[in-house]
Amino acid sequence: MPSRWIRLQAAVFLLLLGSYAYFRHARDWNTASRLILTYAIVDRGTVCLDGYEKQTGDIARFRGHYYGDKLPGFSLAAAVPYAIGKAMAGLPPHPTGVEGLKYWPSDAWITLATSGLATALTAVLLMGLARDLGCSPGRAALVGLAYGLATPAYAYATLAYGHPLCALCLLGSFRLLGDPPGAGRGDLPRIALAGFLAAYGSVVELQVGPVSAILGLDLLLQCATRRRRPGALAAFAAGAAVPTLLLLGYNTLAFGSPWEMGYFHHATEEFARVHSRENPLGLRPPEVALIGPLLWGEHRGLLFYAPVLAMAPAGWLLLIARGRVATGLVSLASALAIFLVNLSYPEWTGGWSTGPRLLVPLLPFAMVAVAACLAGDPAGTPGRWAFRLAAGLAAWGAGVMLLCQGVGARIPQDMARPIRDFAWPLWTGRMRVPGWWSSEPFARNLVSELAPGWVASLPADLKGLQFLPLVLAQGLAIGVLAFMIGRGASRPAVAPQSKSDLRVDQQEERRRADEDAEDPEAEPQRVHPDPGP
């Protein structure tokens, strides 16, 4: 059973990573600002972006030199696969002093090895959480696939934004803190890693700082209620100190002080009006009127672009009703914190994007609640209907995501109906690409690069056929997954306990032993040898 489960996780991981590798999206200011810092670090050994400033207007200027205006977490992480690619494949250094590039060969590799890898790993983490909550392997696979292909996570897995890496860090910390305590000092390395991930998420994107704080508060409550030893707090703080010092060191290198940030020195006036030294993120009191547009509707509605999340509210209630109070409250509080920050941000639409871009770090926490809806008896009527509902909503979301991916994954925020007025007319050939569009009508992909003549010969209303190989490969892979799951379920052998069940049993045994030790009148438990049949 464990080996079959590992194979299933690996299959979902490879399916998602292969799907992300299909696309070669063009740059925009937002992605270029992160990519050029990676190139500067690896190619030139500096955080100064002089020579790259024509690649983006999303940049900072300080004392006559150019630097990144964003936190460096994504670029630092992306430097690892880029350095490996240079060493093993001879990737050429990025040119300097040239006008903005739409494409650079290394962009695709860096994006896949950072955003794509982070999204696929997040999906696998969600599968593990779903199993811990009581989902069957098949339903756990549905949770992972729905996250990776049927929410905006799909779009941002193919773009050099910080959201996918941020989501992985926060969910990883959440998972580590949610595991039952280990024995003795063996628990401390996991807690230190949880602290590192919680802090690194904020080094990738400052706006998720409240979630990092929620995760730290969760650990504090665990220690206060004696579910963990007090030393766990020190381990968490030690882990969190590493990314924090990394950020302070970067700020010192770039701006001469650990307390300076790129947000304070925007070179572009439209960004400088939002971000400042006094208010780095430009936050304002939450605008209640934005709740509706951020939750539903074609413009930036979360439930339009990730309809499977409509099951999340019921899932949070189920978690609490089933006694998984900490899991339910921490995931709900994390999702609400991210939503609240988006309500308070002047550029709440996220600019050119697919769906509510700034809510992407919220998606894994909401998918935990979706998994709770799929947990329980899969043969019962409620279980069957929950599975059918989740599968149907995921199929709808996957269709919407493919429409957006096909036209570049970023649609301007001033289009009130991005699907009906932009994506669908392009797919059906009823609209020529607008003059202001920054790339081709359809995103570059493996087929358009391997068979450009065939794609060019397609009539306007059939250009979407270049994505048919992707859809067929995904369908075939999902069919193989279903076969793997069905084959495992049909075996008559009794499956051993999952790791989560064993952990719960061990925790319960320790709790009973502690109670017996505290009660001097407790009857000692006697273990007799098995008398045989």
User: Which secondary structure element, helix H or strand E, spans residue 24, and what is its range?
Assistant: strand 23-24
Q: What tens digit of pLDDT does each residue of 355-368 get?
A: 999 999 999 999 99
Q: What value does the mean pLDDT take over residues 62-85?
A: 96
Q: What span, in angstroms and rounded, lies between the C-alpha atoms of 349 and 508?
A: 47
In the numeric block, which tokens belong to residue 497? 């306990």
- Among residues 169, 198, 206, 163, the alpha carbon closest in space to that of 69 is found at 206
Q: What span, in angstroms and rounded, lies between the C-alpha atoms of 143 and 367?
A: 7
The residues near 309 (Cβ < 8 Å, ≥ 6 apart) are 151, 302, 303, 363, 366, 367, 370
User: Which secondary structure element, helix H or strand E, spans residue 67, and what is its range?
Assistant: strand 65-67
The pLDDT assigned to 435 comes to 66
Q: What span, in angstroms and rounded, lies between the C-alpha atoms of 199 and 189?
A: 15
Please report where in the chains the tokens 């306990």 appear, as a residue: 497
Q: Residue 500 — very low, low, confident or very high, per pLDDT cuts 50/70/90? A: very low
- Among residues 33, 82, 81, 103, the alpha carbon closest in space to that of 61 is found at 33
Q: What tens digit of pLDDT does each residue of 143-155 get?
A: 999 999 999 999 9
β partners of residue 353: 411
Q: What span, in angstroms and rounded, lies between the C-alpha atoms of 395 and 393?
A: 5
Please report where in the chains the tokens 């050429």 appear, as a residue: 92
The pLDDT assigned to 524 comes to 39
β partners of residue 444: 24
DSSP reduced 3-state for 23:
strand
Percent of the chain clearing pLDDT 70 (strictly above): 88
Of 16-30, 173-187, 209-223, 438-452, the range with the lowest mean pLDDT is: 173-187
Model confidence at 10: pLDDT above 80 = yes
Q: What span, in angstroms and rounded, lies between the C-alpha atoms of 81 and 117?
A: 11
Q: For residue 414, what are the CA distances in angstroms to 56, 220, 302, 351, 523?
A: 21, 44, 17, 8, 72
The pLDDT assigned to 509 comes to 53
The residues near 260 (Cβ < 8 Å, ≥ 6 apart) are 62, 251, 254
CB 255 within 8 A of CB 62: yes
In the numeric block, which tokens belong to residue 232? 């766990």
Q: What span, in angstroms and rounded, lies between the C-alpha atoms of 301 and 123?
A: 22
Q: What tens digit of pLDDT does each residue of 285-335 get?
A: 999 999 999 999 999 999 999 999 999 999 999 999 999 999 999 999 999
DSSP reduced 3-state for 68:
coil
The pLDDT assigned to 239 comes to 97
Model confidence at 232: pLDDT above 70 = yes
Mean pLDDT (the chain) is 89
User: Which secondary structure element, helix H or strand E, spans residue 475, and what is its range?
Assistant: helix 468-490
Residue 230 backbone phi and psi in degrees, to 5? -60, -25
Model confidence at 463: pLDDT above 90 = yes
Strand 60-62 vs strand 23-24: parallel, antiparallel, or unpaired?
A: unpaired
Q: What span, in angstroms and rounded, lies between the C-alpha atoms of 80 and 66?
A: 23
The pLDDT assigned to 525 comes to 38
Using left for φ > 0, alpha for ψ between -120 and 50, and beta otherwise, residue 487 falls in: alpha
The pLDDT assigned to 254 comes to 95
The pLDDT assigned to 274 comes to 84
The pLDDT assigned to 256 comes to 93
Alpha helices in 290-351 (DSSP H): 291-295, 302-305, 312-321, 325-343
Q: What tens digit of pLDDT does each residue of 261-276 get?
A: 999 998 888 888 888 8
Q: What value does the mean pLDDT take over residues 73-79?
A: 97
Q: What tens digit of pLDDT does each residue of 167-210 get?
A: 999 999 999 999 877 655 678 999 999 999 999 999 999 999 99
User: What single-letter DSSP state applies at residue 354?
Assistant: S
Of 21-35, 398-412, 469-483, 495-509, the range with the lowest mean pLDDT is: 495-509
The residues near 288 (Cβ < 8 Å, ≥ 6 apart) are 343
Q: What tens digit of pLDDT does each residue of 346-356 get?
A: 989 999 999 99
3-state helix, strand, coil split of the chain in percent (to 5) is 65, 0, 30
Q: What span, in angstroms and rounded, lies between the C-alpha atoms of 42 and 48?
A: 12
- Among residues 190, 265, 202, the alpha carbon closest in space to that of 232 is found at 190
